[in-house]
Amino acid sequence: MNRCIAKAVVWLMIVGHSAGSAAEPSRPLATTSSATTSVPTGVLSEADLTQQLAKLLSPQASERLAAARLIATADTGDADGEARYAAWLRRELSGQTVVLQRLIHAIWGQYPNPEYPRGPGKDPPMWLVRPEPPIPPGTPKKERPKPHDPESVDWLTALAELDVTHEPLLSSFPVDEVQKTRAELLLKVALLRTLSAAGQRGSRDAVHPVFEQAFVRDGVLRDECGRMVRAMGSPAIPGLIRIYNNRSRANYKMRRYASYQLDRMDRLRPSKAIASASDDLVRADIIHTYGEVLAIDAVEAILEQVAARSRRVRREARWAWLRYVDGPPPPPAPKRKRKLPGGKEESEEKEDYLTYRELATLALKRTYKTVFAVEPPEKLTVRQLTDELFAHYDQQEEALFAKLFASGTAHLAAGQPKSAVAEFGWILANQPDHPRRAEMAAAFRQYGSQVAEEAERKNDDSLRSQAVGWLRHSLLLFRSQPGAATLAAQVHLLDGKLALRQGGDGKTDFALALRSDPSLDEARLYLSRLQTQPQRRISWLRWLCLGLLAGGLLLLGLWRRQSASIK
């Protein structure tokens, strides 16, 4: 009985302690030693990749598929993680090429025909596919099986779930060899997807290791590589442009394949590649790449971007254009004597095509005439014509900004800060370092204060978040504006209220508000409530626990007395 009483007392003390600390954030329980076999998350290390490769050799299809998906969805982290995955992807395959080909056909995939194209007069297929099984004669059309589509095969799932022991295409090879080759192929497919996902998130280096695998072992992985390259979207375009414009003899096949992928993505024309970029950052990267390789077919597209609204795009376009007109000299175009009607030839040799500098000069003169409505002066160099054109575009932009600034100032003076913020915001979005940006701070402050008052009337947290954004924007535009400390206190006060509504205490925000403006009584009131409320709650719970303990002891004493009287 005494042992039971002791346990009850201890339990009550634990309840009281936990109730007293209820205001504190909960802490995770310590894990036991059995958790060491947990699945790795985040960026996979060398040991993790080795462990997952061993699981790809498992006889269980579910374990193989889980390991492959874990690799395919792994985070790349920083550049080191991406480089680690790329190094594993570039590892040499140890299996036979014929086994790799049979595995791909076993899942109804396809790989390129090494004999395509091979000599004139031949018409071999571009892709080698597994023949469809014969259909018994007399089978009704509606009962005939649908042909397999190699483009729709999920290589990761199909390879992981493939039963190599019952596949007729693999029956002539040792099972151990087939399983090991399948594990290597499955690892490459998973890593292709990992790097493709990194490319979709904006990695500039992910496309190259994926693209290179299209030429391993006669291109057995080319179909999957093409899908992963196209899945990257616009971030893959700069890498493909560099490969496509590398005209060395050793790069002939890769250049042709890069052209094929750009065409499949409808990005082969430079104007289309630039216009369809996902955002200005990618668009600027594409333009920079064209200027880096001095692509002859991108002259017109680059000139169209030198007056772009985005400052990043405009800066890269002007850098690229200056390389065309005033950068490294282009290699001379090959010359030859052209054939004339009747089988004769011209007396002198002529260039086969115009160089990028000649094309840029012609395009610049046409644009100059269109913009200024006059013929370009002959005495001006191409660089001087370019400078005049750039200055004209800059003057047009400044005139537009001046007009919008005057309109925003007028709206602010008329008591319409919302309209002023819209016009000033457009200016700042296109020129963040505008010389009169400090004068715009008052509009953001007035509009933020209006939104904050409306949020208090409606008790709306979404409006409070908007108000914080506008007020903080005002501080960023002009930190030394009059009343900056009061403005900062207002921002901290709103942040603290939002923290309270979202389950926090907001104590730090209220303290910062009071530090910025000691006269802010509302922040002081919130702080005093936070200091007293937890103590009252803890005191009340402790008294409750002590009362329960006393009641339990009293009942115990009565029970003992009753037992003694019965004896």
Could you give the C-alpha distances from 258 to 128, 268, 283, 285, 529, in angstroms and in order?
21, 9, 19, 18, 66
Taken as a whole, the chain contains a residue count of 567
pLDDT at 80: 86
Phi, psi of 126 (to 5 degrees): -70, -35
Phi, psi of 371 (to 5 degrees): -75, -45
Q: Is the pLDDT of residue 5 over 70?
A: no
- Helix axis angle, 382-413 relative to 441-458, nearest 10°? 40
Dihedral over alpha carbons 546, 551, 555, 557 (to 10 degrees): 50
Residue 24: helix, strand or coil by DSSP? coil
Q: Residue 406 corresponds to which tokens in the numbers above?
A: 């005057």
Do 429 and 315 share a structural domain? no
Tell me the C-alpha distance between 311 and 278, whole Å. Answer: 16
Which pLDDT band, with edges at 50, 70 and 90, does 18 fall under?
A: very low
Note the pLDDT tens digit of each residue in 19-65: 333 333 333 323 333 333 456 667 899 999 999 999 999 999 999 99
The residues facing 335 across adjacent strands are: 351
**164 domain-assigned:** yes
Do 276 and 129 share a structural domain? yes
Are the beta carbons of 262 and 237 closer than 8 angstroms? yes
**123 domain-assigned:** yes
Note the pLDDT tens digit of each residue in 309-326: 888 999 999 999 999 999
Tell me the C-alpha distance between 225 and 214, whole Å. Answer: 6
Give me the DSSP letters along 82-105.
HHHHHHHHTSPP-S-HHHHHHHHH
Note the pLDDT tens digit of each residue in 196-211: 999 998 888 899 999 9
Which pLDDT band, with edges at 50, 70 and 90, does 145 fall under?
A: confident
Which pLDDT band, with edges at 50, 70 and 90, does 333 fall under?
A: confident
Return the biggest CA–CA distance within the chain.
139
Are the beta carbons of 124 and 226 closer than 8 angstroms? no
Tell me the C-alpha distance between 229 and 482, whole Å. Answer: 54
pLDDT at 484: 85
Q: Is the pLDDT of residue 239 over 90?
A: yes
pLDDT at 40: 65
pLDDT at 235: 93
Residue 382, classified by CB atoms within 10 Å of its CB into exposed (0-12), middle (13-18) or buried (19+), is middle
- Count of structural domains within the chain: 2
Do 421 and 292 share a structural domain? no
**306 domain-assigned:** yes
Which domain CATH number covers 465?
1.25.40
138-142, 430-434, 558-562: least confidently modelled range:
558-562
Give me the DSSP letters along 273-313.
HHHT-SSHHHHHHHHHHHHHHT-GGGHHHHHHTTT-SSHHH
Residues 67-73 have a mean pLDDT of 95
Do 313 and 430 share a structural domain? no
- Distance of alpha carbon 415 from its chain centroid, rounded? 41
Range of the structural domain that residue 521 is part of: 417-531
Domain endpoint, select from 298, 322, 346:
322
- Distance of alpha carbon 419 from its chain centroid, rounded? 33
Tell me the C-alpha distance between 185 and 217, whole Å. Answer: 12
Read off the pTM. Answer: 0.76
Q: Is the pLDDT of residue 442 over 60?
A: yes
pLDDT at 394: 93
Do 426 and 304 share a structural domain? no
Q: Residue 271 corresponds to which tokens in the numbers above?
A: 């104007």
- Distance of alpha carbon 375 from its chain centroid, rounded? 46
pLDDT at 121: 60
Nearest to 148 by CA among 132, 163, 136, 166: 132
Place of tokens 């802010």: 520
**140 domain-assigned:** no
How many CA atoms within 13 Å lie on the side-chain side of 177? Answer: 13
> What percentage of the chain exceeds 90 in pLDDT?
55
Tell me the C-alpha distance between 129 and 115, whole Å. Answer: 14
Domain endpoint, select from 322, 342, 364:
322
Do 235 and 98 share a structural domain? yes
CA angle 177, 114, 102 (to 5 degrees): 25
Domain endpoint, select from 270, 301, 322:
322
**447 domain-assigned:** yes
Note the pLDDT tens digit of each residue in 335-349: 887 787 877 877 777
Tell me the C-alpha distance between 511 and 489, whole Å. Answer: 9
Residues 183-190 have a mean pLDDT of 96
Tell me the C-alpha distance between 281 and 267, whole Å. Answer: 17
Q: What integer best gives the mean pLDDT of the chain?
A: 85
pLDDT at 1: 39
pLDDT at 36: 37
Do 316 and 432 share a structural domain? no
Tell me the C-alpha distance between 84 and 348, whole Å. Answer: 57
**558 domain-assigned:** no
Give the ranges where 459-520 is alpha helix by DSSP (H). Answer: 461-477, 484-501, 507-516
Q: Is the pLDDT of residue 491 over 80?
A: yes
Nearest to 147 by CA among 108, 190, 102: 108
**81 domain-assigned:** yes
Do 441 and 300 share a structural domain? no
Nearest to 210 by CA among 129, 221, 475, 220: 221
- Termini Cα distance of the chain: 17
Are the beta carbons of 221 and 192 closer than 8 angstroms? yes
**316 domain-assigned:** yes
Do 317 and 444 share a structural domain? no
What does the DSSP 8-state code read for residue 257? Answer: H
Do 314 and 201 share a structural domain? yes
Do 431 and 295 share a structural domain? no
pLDDT at 561: 75
